[in-house]
Amino acid sequence: MATITPRPETSSEISASVPNARYPDVLQQFRRLLHSVGYHSCGIAESLEPSIPISRLLHPDSPVTPLNTFLRLFDREESVTSEAASSAFAPLTVAELVEAGFVRERDGRVSSEVCIEPYEDLLLVHPYCHEQENAVMSISASSLELANFTVRARSRRTLDLGTGSGLQAILAATHSDQVYAIDVNPIALECAQFNCIWNGISNVVCKRGNLFEPVIGQKFDLIVTNPPFVISPFVQLRYRDSGVRGDQFCINLAREAASFLNEGGYFQMIFQWIDTAEQGWRERLSLAFSGLGCDAWVMRVATASPDLYVWSWLQDSEEKPLNASSEWHRYLHELETESVSSGLLVLQRASERPNSFWFDESPEDRSRAYGAHIPVLLDARRFVKDQPDSILFDHKLQVSPHLKMIQQACLDGNRGRQGRSDADISSSGWSLAAAEFRLEEGPRYFYDDVDTVLASLVAGCDGKHKLARIFEAVAAENEVPLADLKAKYSGQIRELLQYGFLRSVPSE
């Protein structure tokens, strides 16, 4: 597969500053101090009420507090007076934090050496090296996406490929016996090692190397990666630009990862791919991930035209190559790009049976962790695929405890969608116009093709009665032939199972 060859270390590669872990007492005191003043995810959110943006909290006229001093230093990269720093750092001194590598002092002002980012109860540092080649990625939208998506089942051995500042490795450490954090960037590895120490993590091994080279011959229960997925003709940042043509870097990475998985193990990746006019994205990716001995599930998150794709990435770049836009458009045109899509991939090793592939849209709301639901949904999808109706109807099903039905009503004469039941929901002339199912936990899917008959079928799934009996009862209640009811609704029941609205009850 295509690889990135590690470059020899030079003075420019190791110029960025990472705090010194040789001062454990100072590190732990400083960590406790940051938490005590609210420098953590919840504390900062509470300080930033909806009507108070961070710019107002940090306005020059705002009161000088330890929290806004820390935000100025370690979030906004602003300097503060030595007096303000001394007050915020107490009982630690400015000199102690200079020695530990967090700040520097000059001419009566204190500046930060690193950014400190809170994530839940964690604190992670990375140096301010901006657009340098060896920049370490901050906690980005894709970092959070991967963290929420990751399966959190118990893992004997986990691999974080391209660890960056170590967020994914540290999160995996809580449910893994051993975690290996790999990166080709020496500064990233220093950050990851420091962040593990600072957050009290002792079961992460950091190794420098290119992709899988440091773990050749080893197997893992979980592999996660937020790779350099941007489809670009440029190579500026290691964490963003692969240097490999088109989208082949991520596809090749997934194909190689399959051979490093234990049976039943998971590989999870954020990636982007090219859509062409000649081949649908589902067909293209099914070919890309076939023959691996793995089940594959791709959830498409977004799709952008070449114009929008180029514009959005150039907007995020502080330093733009000369004629970047025209060169980027020409590059995508050469690749016959109709659009560029982004999404989530999970492979599960299953080498002893025929493999399954699923390609669909992701739920719109992915702001909460839902990785624990991924194995359940994969099992549900395999169950749906393997069961003909004759066997499916012999099963007992149960409604997800997280399912809610949302109804919309309108006054008679102002009906919504055609074909909806006009059953009265009150005596004041209101009638049901539309209804949908929503999942309130996990992947927050919604299902908007709900009428009163489907609602009755789902309500009957109490885990005690076989699906065949429920269909018989609803057919009799609505005075419709059972065969017609099955023909119309069995496919919808399968969809509700596949997306987690319904669950199969194990046989006794």
Decide if 234 is inside a domain: yes
Decide if 139 is inside a domain: yes
358: helix, strand or coil = strand
299 and 399 in a single domain? The answer is: no
pLDDT for the residue 494:
95
What secondary structure does DSSP assign to 468-503, as a single string?
HHHHHHHHHHHT--HHHHHHHHHHHHHHHHHTTSEE
Tell me the two tokens of residue 482: 């059972």
246 and 329 in a single domain? The answer is: yes
Give CA torsion, residues 353, 359, 365, 370, to 10 deg.
Answer: 10
366 and 224 in a single domain? The answer is: yes
Nearest 5 degrees, angle CA 53-CA 54-CA 59?
A: 105
Return the CATH number at 442.
3.90.930
Nearest to 258 by CA among 369, 179, 347: 347
Return the CATH number at 271.
3.40.50.150
347 and 453 in a single domain? The answer is: no
pLDDT for the residue 130:
59
Tell me the per-residue pLDDT of 63-88, one tens digit each, with 9 for 90 and over.
Answer: 778 898 999 999 988 999 999 999 99
Decide if 4 is inside a domain: no
355 and 487 in a single domain? The answer is: no
Where among 95, 119, 143 does a domain terminate? 119
Decide if 17 is inside a domain: no
Residue 347 to residue 254: CA distance in whole angstroms: 8
Where among 349, 383, 417 does a domain terminate? 383
Per run of 10 residues, the mean pLDDT along the chain (length 508 residues) is: 35 62 93 92 59 54 81 91 94 95 94 93 85 77 93 97 95 98 92 95 95 95 94 76 82 96 97 90 92 95 92 74 82 92 96 90 84 93 90 94 88 55 56 84 86 93 94 94 94 94 86
Where among 63, 90, 119 does a domain terminate? 119
pLDDT for the residue 53:
54
Decide if 219 is inside a domain: yes
pLDDT for the residue 432:
72
330 and 344 in a single domain? The answer is: yes
311: helix, strand or coil = helix
Burial annotation 323-345 (CB, 10 A radius, 16+ → b, else e): ebeeebbebbeebebbbbbbbbb
303 and 176 in a single domain? The answer is: yes
92 and 134 in a single domain? The answer is: no
218 and 106 in a single domain? The answer is: no
pLDDT for the residue 275:
93
pLDDT for the residue 322:
62
Decide if 3 is inside a domain: no
pLDDT for the residue 2:
34
pLDDT for the residue 328:
86
pLDDT for the residue 208:
95
Decide if 244 is inside a domain: yes
112 and 154 in a single domain? The answer is: no
341 and 392 in a single domain? The answer is: no
pLDDT for the residue 5:
33
**Residues 464, 445 contacting (CB under 8 angstroms):** no
428 and 361 in a single domain? The answer is: no
pLDDT for the residue 236:
67
pLDDT for the residue 364:
80
Decide if 14 is inside a domain: no
Q: For the chain, how many structural domains are there in total? A: 3
Of how many residues is the chain composed? 508
The domain of 317 spans 129-383
Burial annotation 208-245 (CB, 10 A radius, 16+ → b, else e): beebbebbeeebbbbbbbbbbbbbbbbebbbbbbbebe
